Amino acid sequence: MAATKRLNSLDWSFLAGETRESMMHVGGLMTFTPPDDASPDFLRQLMEEVRQDSQVYSPWNLKLRHPNLLTHPLQSWVEDENFDVEYHIRRSALPTPGDERELGILVSRLHSHNVDFHRPPWEVHFIEGLEGGRFAIYFKVHHSLIDGYTGIKILARSFSSDANERDTPLFYLLPPAAREPKLKEEHVPTLEALWQGVQGQLESSRGAVKALMQVVQAARSHDHSLVVPMQAPNSVLNQKISRNRRFSTQQFKVERLKRIAKASHGTLNDVVLALCAGALRRFLHEQDGLPTEPLTAMLPVNIRPKDDPGGGNAVGAILASLATDITDPIERINTIIGSTTRAKEQLQGMSKSTILQFTSMLMAPMLLSQIPGAAGRVRPAFNLAISNVPGPETPLYFRGYRLDSYFPLSIPFLGYGLNITVVTYVDTLNFGFIGCRDTLPHLQRLAVYSREALEELELALGLTD
């Protein structure tokens, strides 16, 4: 068989977490507006092009060597020598004229099915039938193959910044971005180099343990600004889940959120957390399920170098309070800002290795909820994950069709039935709410309530016209 690629420990963990109910794939929903000269048969022509060109580049041609045993100790990626492009790229349609609700229902169903590990673990669906000749692209890929950072990087390379460009290659036809050549090093490590490596690992471990002890000491002294694992209250978000998903979206202008960040002396991400907190507070209150203690969130942190082309996973994490126990929106966002500031201060000065080890220690209690029957009975490590991923900063086009929005879909899993991911695109912030349909009914209301939380903050801060 062709060349292999080993999985790192984080990639492997996403395979280990895969079950019928906890599916470890991520995805995205993109909507496009047609150019004036759009062909009515555009998607039919596109599918004919797909069938004619079967070339595919890594990572899109990689499948697992041992698909029947995901946690095989020698698991690795190998090239699929019988790659079938028509299996991975499909065409769907909504009843014309389709609206955003019907699109959300279709995507919810598509995201509710496991990927096929006997093939490269990804799918793309071209969806036609939206009003005004618009169409959408939904894709999903297993998190063990690529992370959200890599997905955004590939997205940016797959489209064009030129509205008149009409022959941009499909994403899987693009060869991987070239890495900068490394300087030649000794092939055989010296004893000195080996000892330096051991010392580096020991220093990383000491740094991670020291940071964790600071968290524990903060808890003992009742300093609630530094969130402790398993400080999160039990809630409806942290129950046993089914495989059924519900997906909803929301889009805001970045400038609108930046005004709030400036007025509250926080960051754009702090405002994102405040909108999520306000929406969750109302959503849970309506179900008589709002805990008296504040919900806590796990926030992934990208720790790649700036010029890293992506691939695999390189993500740290911090924990922060959402202050959902606080009624006043200004006091709530101030509490959130204090919590995220303390958490980020801990990571300052840490090496990448130390951050990864510290993250592993923070996430370790989450394993308890993965024990059969434990979800909903043991205190969760946190209540939900909220991710903020930077996206393309300039408008993008696909064969002349303007990309209007990019909504991310992430992973609900056992004991953690809601995931909120946000992607910036040009001057917009695109929210993707994905959760268990059965344990969190009416999930689409979160999107509506996030807008109301934004309006509430603007009013409280005197930012309304």
Residues marked active site are found at 143
**Per-residue burial over 163-193, b = 16 or more CB atoms within 10 Å of its CB, e = otherwise:** eeeeebebbbbeeeeeeeeeeeeeeeeeeee
Q: Tally Cβ neighbours within 10 Å of residue 339.
A: 25
Report which DSSP code applies to 21. Answer: S
| CA distances for 356 relative to 204, 226, 433, angstroms | 9, 19, 26
* Cis peptide preceding 97, ω within 30 of 0: yes
Parallel, antiparallel or unpaired: strands 418-425 and 428-436: antiparallel
Residue 317, C-beta contacts closer than 8 angstroms, at least 6 positions apart: 298, 299, 300, 301, 359, 362, 363
Residues of the chain by 3-state class (helix, strand, coil), percent to 5: 35, 25, 40
C-alpha span between 425 and 414 (Å, rounded): 31
Strand pairing category for 122-130 and 135-142 = antiparallel
Distance CA 422, CA 443 (A): 16
Give the span between the Cα atoms of 60 and 83, in whole angstroms. Answer: 10
Gyration radius (Cα) of the chain, Å: 23
Question: Mapping DSSP to helix (H, G, I), strand (E, B) and coil, where does residue 164 land?
Answer: coil
What SS3 state is found at 267?
A: coil
Under 8 Å between Cβ of 13 and 75: no
Amino acid at 12: W
